[in-house]
Amino acid sequence: MSKVACIGECMIELKQAQGTEAGLFSRGYGGDTLNTAVYLVRLGVDADYVTALGDDSLSDEMIAGWAAEGIGTRRVVRLPGKLPGLYMIQTDDKGERRFFHWRDSAAARSLMDLPQTPEILNSLAGYDLIYLSAITLSLYGGEGRARLFEALKGARESGARFVFDTNFRARGWPDLDVARAVFQEAFAAADIVLASTEDLLPLYPGVTNEALLARIPGSEVVLKLSEPASIVRLEGVPYPIKAKPVEEPVVDTTAAGDSFAAAYVAARLVGADPIEAARAGHRLAGVVVCHPGAIIPRAAMPPGLIPATSRKASP
């Protein structure tokens, strides 16, 4: 079975409690790459989460929840006196979400600057695939990102594949020029890029889909569009993909991209071609947006999502 490392941050999640008066929130946890790890494991992929947490009871609760989902936690560093970050989801009547974050001193931001960092980075060479997002890269300073990119280079030389998700939050970056430079470095290093117009247009405003794709040099690129569709580019050839219409009401678009990424990666790991994988991504995302919060109930996972195949299991 292929082994995946998902690198990033999980935070305490507050979302409007359904069926209650305004101002009451329910508590859970979530974070883009953690959400992807949950869905990967539910789709049959062996995945570890790579992050740092505090030594508090909320961090204990997180790790217990991840273990209950089947996510590996051996790469989680616990930092005395630290806490996880916090975010709140606000959704409008169309299900579109807005996030509010409290995370400047969160434990995960220290991951690239710890005594344990060399061991964590060296371990990446033991995985078949490494997945991280632009939000992951925004957590670390320049020196930390340089350490991570060097480790990714070494892991790829050992046979690992690197998947970069362009999930972009402007507030996480000191300025757009820094973000653009880091994105270009990640594009150049990645084997697979999972992008979206929602992420890239704030960085490259006013350009066409073709121009956005032209900025990404890799041979396997997915560009998710504002409508329920995407473009898969393989070896320079674009293939448009239409998503099936969502049949249920959309209540919360949180984790739509994260679940797309999980289904795409899971499908590629069992040998599905990128077009099949993109269709699987759209299908899972279409279910996720019909539920509140980042993680849907297990019972809501669509059956038969990942195509069974006897082809070689490599992305």
Is the pLDDT at 314 greater than 50? The verdict is no
pLDDT bucket at 95, cuts 50 / 70 / 90: low
CA distance 142 to 21: 44
User: What value does the mean pLDDT take over residues 292-301?
Assistant: 90
pLDDT bucket at 25, cuts 50 / 70 / 90: confident
CA distance 289 to 273: 25
pLDDT bucket at 27, cuts 50 / 70 / 90: confident
| pLDDT tens-digit map of 135-150 | 999 999 999 999 999 9
Is the pLDDT at 252 greater than 90? The verdict is no
Active site residues: 258
| pLDDT at residue number 104 | 86
Buried b (16+ CB within 10 A) or exposed e, 153-185: eebbeeebbbbbbbbbbeebbeeeeebeebbee
| pLDDT at residue number 310 | 38
What pTM was computed for the model?
A: 0.93
Angle at 127 between CA 131 and CA 199, to 5 degrees: 5
DSSP string, the chain: --EEEEES--EEEEEEPTTS-TT-EEEEEE-HHHHHHHHHHHTT-EEEEEEEEESSHHHHHHHHHHHHHT-B-TTEEEETT----EEEEEE-TTS-EEEEEE-TT-GGGGGGGSTTHHHHHHHGGG-SEEEEEHHHHHTS-HHHHHHHHHHHHHHHHTT-EEEEE----GGGSS-HHHHHHHHHHHHHH-SEEEEEHHHHTTTSTT--HHHHHHT---SEEEEE-SSSEEEEEETTEEEEEEPPPP-SPP---TTHHHHHHHHHHHHHHTT--HHHHHHHHHHHHHHHTTSSSSS--GGGSPTT-SPP--S----
Centre a 10 Å sphere on the Cβ of residue 99 and count the other Cβ atoms it contains.
Answer: 13
46 neighbors 1 (Cβ within 8 angstroms): yes
User: What value does the mean pLDDT take over residues 53-79?
Assistant: 97
pLDDT bucket at 100, cuts 50 / 70 / 90: confident
| pLDDT at residue number 315 | 44
Is the pLDDT at 34 greater than 70? The verdict is yes
| pLDDT at residue number 18 | 64
| pLDDT at residue number 22 | 64
**Of the given ranges (106-110, 191-195, 293-297), which has the lowest mean pLDDT?**
293-297
What rounded mean pLDDT belongs to the chain?
A: 92
CA distance 300 to 280: 15
pLDDT bucket at 19, cuts 50 / 70 / 90: low
**Of the given ranges (18-32, 160-174, 295-309), which has the lowest mean pLDDT?**
18-32
Percentage of the chain beyond pLDDT 70 is 93
All domains of the chain in start order, with CATH: 3-8+32-51+109-298 (3.40.1190.20)
pLDDT bucket at 276, cuts 50 / 70 / 90: very high
**Of the given ranges (35-39, 246-250, 282-286), which has the lowest mean pLDDT?**
246-250
* Burial (CB count within 10 angstroms: exposed 0-12, middle 13-18, buried 19+), residue 207: middle
* Burial (CB count within 10 angstroms: exposed 0-12, middle 13-18, buried 19+), residue 112: buried
Q: 7 versus 87: which is more confidently predicted?
A: 7
Beta bridge partners of 233: 221, 238
Centre a 10 Å sphere on the Cβ of residue 266 and count the other Cβ atoms it contains.
Answer: 27
